[in-house]
């Protein structure tokens, strides 16, 4: 399966939901006010977000009149291009010379951080990298065990400490071990935390500081993991996390579980942070690198 097909499979529930509306809309008829209104509504219902939906429809109107387009089918091509332009996916991070690439995963409880850490570890290992997972969620004993199982499945090493230990200390040890072992990529899991809990956000800042002290410039990527099924609630979370630790990218998990896959477009447009990956299932292979054009095609084509 190519990436477009994999996105499509991940959007299966959206295909029964809001994408079916879009399909019907574009299947024929005039390009009149009723059409634009219905399109706007369909996009908003698909969680594209009000502002982004209005923007897309407005641009579409202009372009349709500029190019004197009469068919809805052709208008669909234009909308696809607009969505692509709105999304422009994130660049792959460049690995620093002679030092590990450090990726930190953060987010609220249950968003999919641990699963994503394992999926990412698996991806990097398959590309031939030496990978180290860090059990930075010391809050729950079960969290360490969960990551241990994933590390074994993914075939990568894990650095862990006792439950209850300071997560910053775990990262301190992990980073030193990674440098000594000449690891290529370090992927850190963290405990789920509510963005409104001040002390937990302070803990996150400390983790970030400690990582930067052991290895200046790290973490190179801070990925905020958001559950796509929670809709636009994710936006408030993102703002608060971003204040604590600058977020460089988003991971939208459980895209397979929502009928409103337009959230991917809405999130990126609102937060101005690129979507780096989307999660489309519970298995190690179910993490897709985000490609704007392929995603827009999967949505509409
Ligand atoms: N369908 C689906 N399920 C997912 C995806 N990503 C994660 N999950 C599931 O979501 C649940 C929570 O995932 P975790 O990785 O444990 O989430 P977490 O953010 O580490 O949770 P806490 O550590 O409790 O904060 C698990 O049952 C995962 O299998 C996805 O992309 N698709
Ligand atoms: Mg977890």
* For ligand 1, mutation pick of 203, 253, 255 (most atoms within 8 Å of CB): 253
Q: How far apart (Å, rounded) are the C-alpha atoms in residues 40 and 48? A: 10
Distance 32 CA to ligand 1 centre (A): 43
At 28, the pLDDT band (50, 70, 90 cuts) reads confident
Residue 156 and residue 65 share a domain: no
At 88, the pLDDT band (50, 70, 90 cuts) reads confident
Q: 233 or 258, which is more confident? A: 258
42, 61, 87 - which closes a domain:
87
Distance 79 CA to ligand 1 centre (A): 32
Q: Is the shortest distance between the CB of 291 and ligand 1 below 6 Å?
A: no
Residue 110 and residue 72 share a domain: no
Q: What is the CATH number for 152?
A: 3.40.50.300
Q: Is the shortest distance between the CB of 227 and ligand 1 below 6 Å?
A: no
- Please name the residue that has the structure tokens 């990262």: 171
Give per-residue pLDDT as tens, 142-176. Answer: 999 999 999 999 999 999 999 999 999 999 999 99
Residue 83 lies in a domain: yes
pLDDT at 111: 96
pLDDT at 10: 96
Is the predicted pLDDT of residue 299 greater than 80, yes or no?
yes
Residue 216 and residue 83 share a domain: no
Residue 68 and residue 10 share a domain: yes
Residue 22 and residue 68 share a domain: yes
Distance 186 CA to ligand 2 centre (A): 16
pLDDT at 123: 97
pLDDT at 36: 97
The answer for residues whose C-beta is within 8 angstroms of residue 249's C-beta and 6 or more apart is: 90, 221, 222, 223, 224, 273, 274, 275, 276, 277
Mean residue pLDDT across the chain: 94
Residue 47 and residue 173 share a domain: no
Q: Is the shortest distance between the CB of 282 and ligand 1 below 6 Å?
A: yes
Give per-residue pLDDT as tens, 31-84. Answer: 999 999 999 999 999 999 999 999 999 999 999 999 999 999 899 999 999 999
Count of structural domains within the chain: 2
Residue 14 and residue 150 share a domain: no
Residue 81 lies in a domain: yes
Residue 266 lies in a domain: no
Q: Which atom of ligand 1 is nearest to the CA of 109?
A: 25
Give per-residue pLDDT as tens, 244-265. Answer: 999 999 999 999 999 999 999 9
Residue 93: Cβ-neighbour burial (10 angstroms; 0-12, 13-18, 19+): middle
Q: How far apart (Å, rounded) are the C-alpha atoms in residues 243 and 245? A: 6
Enclosing domain of residue 57: 3-87
Residue 185 and residue 148 share a domain: yes
Residue 181 lies in a domain: yes
pLDDT at 254: 97
At 89, the pLDDT band (50, 70, 90 cuts) reads low
Q: How far apart (Å, rounded) are the C-alpha atoms in residues 92 and 134? A: 21
Residue 137 and residue 22 share a domain: no
Mean pLDDT of 238-249: 93
Residue 208 and residue 134 share a domain: yes
């Amino acid at each position: 399966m190519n990436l477009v097909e994999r996105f499509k499979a991940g959007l299966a529930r959206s295909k029964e939901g809001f994408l079916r509306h879009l399909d019907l809309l574009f299947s024929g008829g005039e390009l009149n006010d009723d059409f634009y209104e219905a399109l706007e509504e369909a996009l908003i219902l698909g969680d594209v977000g009000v502002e982004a939906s209005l923007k897309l429809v407005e641009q579409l109107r202009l372009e349709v009149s500029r190019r004197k387009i009469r068919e809805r089918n052709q208008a669909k091509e234009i909308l696809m291009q607009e969505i692509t332009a709105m999304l422009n996916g994130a660049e792959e991070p460049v690995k620093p010379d002679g030092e590990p690439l450090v990726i930190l995963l953060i987010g609220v409880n249950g968003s999919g951080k641990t699963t994503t850490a394992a999926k990412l570890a698996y991806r990097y290992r398959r590309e031939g990298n030496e990978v180290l997972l860090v059990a930075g969620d010391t809050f729950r004993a079960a969290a360490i065990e969960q990551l241990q199982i994933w590390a074994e499945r993914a075939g990568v090493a894990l650095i862990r400490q006792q439950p209850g230990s300071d997560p910053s200390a775990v990262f301190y040890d992990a980073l030193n071990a990674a440098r000594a072992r000449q690891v290529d990529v370090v992927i850190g899991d963290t405990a789920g935390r509510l963005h409104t809990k001040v002390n937990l956000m302070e803990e996150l800042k400390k983790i970030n500081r400690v990582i930067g002290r052991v290895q200046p410039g790290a973490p190179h990527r801070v990925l905020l993991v958001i559950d796509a099924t929670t809709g636009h609630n994710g936006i408030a979370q993102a703002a608060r996390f971003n204040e604590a630790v600058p977020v460089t990218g988003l991971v939208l998990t459980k895209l397979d579980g929502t009928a409103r896959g337009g959230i991917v477009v809405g999130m990126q447009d609102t937060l101005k942070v690129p979507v780096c990956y989307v999660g489309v299932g519970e298995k190690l292979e179910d993490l897709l690198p985000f490609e704007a054009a392929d995603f827009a095609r999967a949505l509409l084509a």
